[in-house]
Amino acid sequence: MNHSILLSSRDQKMERTQLKQRRLTNNTISIVLGLGFLAMGLAGCNSKSSAPEAAPVAVVATTTPPPRVAEGGGYNSADWEGSGQTVTFVPESFSTFNSYVGTHPLNEPSNYKINIKLELVGGLLILGGKIKIGYTDVGNWYEGIMETGVGRNSKCSNCHDNNVYEAAYNYYYMDGTNRIFSGYFQDRLGAIILVLEPAQGSGDGDGGTYKGAVFYRNFAQSVEPQSAERKCWFIREGAYDCRSSALVYKSSYTSFDNYTKLGTFTGIDPAKILK
């Protein structure tokens, strides 16, 4: 027997066995490394998803402004009957009144009322005060308040009408034989013009009753608030300009430029509406 050949054969077998073991070891290492990289990859994904997110964009909190007509549980007779005079208000139409309200759609409004409370300013014949218009809708009472102050405009640089009374345009005047009142009032959404004229058969109104009308003009949408320095009838341009030449010059009391007739009323006693 050739021992060298046998030895060589054993060597060859051992080499083959060692080779297989090395391959198995290498495969095991590869698998372990592969699993390791996979784990690292998964860990990387998890760490990416759990990493702190970018700071969110700041959101400015907004509050819905109160509507022109504030909702209440019911009609408060003390507010409406306690001062000034309250009478029935008759809108021109449903659509017109709906446009005036502007902040929410109407359903079946009824029981419309107007309260007028005026005040003589500075011993003069001009009148400030408040006008309230209210109604019931779906069991709730709604009302809005338009007003004109009794003080003077503040002084400011580059402003018109410094030190002028806020109620400067609100007064009675004679139109032929009729004693007419017309004046501005406003809230945050727009302005109204109040008109009073003698009721039929009441002469010039002295000692008689008056009837009246309300005309409205809502402000255009604007990102800028109205200046606190002036009421809208002293503003000459922009979204908050509510001037009407017909009122300023008392050239008409049946129509006013850029205003829409909202409704009418009767039965006003000029003495009762004074504060």
Nearest to 268 by CA among 184, 180, 136, 192: 180
**Helix, coil or strand: residue 31:** helix
CA distance linking residue 192 with residue 74, whole number of Å: 25
pLDDT (0 to 100) of residue 113: 96
**Helix, coil or strand: residue 188:** coil
Residue environment code for 196-230, b if the CB has 16+ CB neighbours within 10 A, otherwise e:
bbbbeebeebeebbbbbbbbbbbbeeeeeebeeeb
Whether 90 and 263 have beta carbons less than 8 Å apart is answered as yes
CA distance linking residue 65 with residue 204, whole number of Å: 43
pLDDT (0 to 100) of residue 222: 86
CA distance linking residue 143 with residue 136, whole number of Å: 9
Question: Distances from the Cα of 185 to the Cαs of 46, 58, 209, 240, 247, in angstroms?
Answer: 64, 39, 22, 13, 12
Please give the helix or strand (H or E) that residue 196 lies within, else none: strand 190-198
pLDDT (0 to 100) of residue 74: 67
Query: Which residues lie below 8 Å from residue 266, measured CB to CB, with a gap of 6+?
Result: 87, 88, 199, 209, 211, 212
pLDDT (0 to 100) of residue 202: 57
Whether 136 and 109 have beta carbons less than 8 Å apart is answered as yes
Whether 100 and 262 have beta carbons less than 8 Å apart is answered as yes
- Walk along the chain (275 residues) and give the pLDDT tens digit of each residue: 434 433 344 444 444 444 444 444 444 444 434 444 333 443 443 433 333 333 333 333 333 444 555 555 567 777 788 889 999 999 999 999 999 998 889 999 999 999 999 999 988 999 999 999 999 999 899 999 999 999 999 998 888 999 999 999 999 999 999 999 999 999 999 999 999 999 986 555 556 899 999 999 999 988 899 988 999 999 999 999 999 999 999 999 999 999 999 999 999 999 999 97
